[in-house]
Structure 1
């Protein structure tokens, strides 16, 4: 099984304007099908950092506010999705083209049968563990 990698440009938003642009890769890995691996690259093409968060945040965030923790996603106009990343050292606000986010979601939604079976198995294990603990 292969991963899905979608390359896009993220606008880094400052208090009053766009502060810069980053090349961003949204990755969907078959071994981690419920997550988005979001890689950020320097202008020279070197990967600077990776954030991993729930894919559901992107799915929900293109339509309305999603997330309560370190990653929040919401619409920022008719063509833009805003992603806010928070860490102890500060926060970064990114604007992504909503069409690019939707393309990534569509590409990563076409899971092979084996990946769908792994997700179902992981959910079953979680529910069994919760039932046993409860």
Structure 2
């Protein structure tokens, strides 16, 4: 019996399918969800969502959000999410460079702008790391 997995970002549905297991970067740590899991609501950390179906794995970056787990469904409402296979590493590198340059300009650490730049830097680093690490492991 599979579990339904839906990953939704602010602008689109990223993934929907019936799967065997979903692994989430929850607030309390990495969390595996199988069919008939107890209901849970958790916030998500910046990290990787792994979805396994019939032995095949797909990976998605997630930059915050929440996940609702029901016995027959996992719903991820992400601040930002994308399939690792779709990551444009050149664009992510450019975003990282822009964020680093803005931080070097001396934005005050107690400002909303500083927090936004830090979040952009974390997201671009996550995207780059995921693309390099997970795409390489799929080729092996």
Flag the structure with more relative contact order, 1 or 2, with Cα contacts below 8 A and sequence separation at least 6: 2
Structure 1 length as normaliser, TM-score? 0.31
Structure 2 length as normaliser, TM-score? 0.30
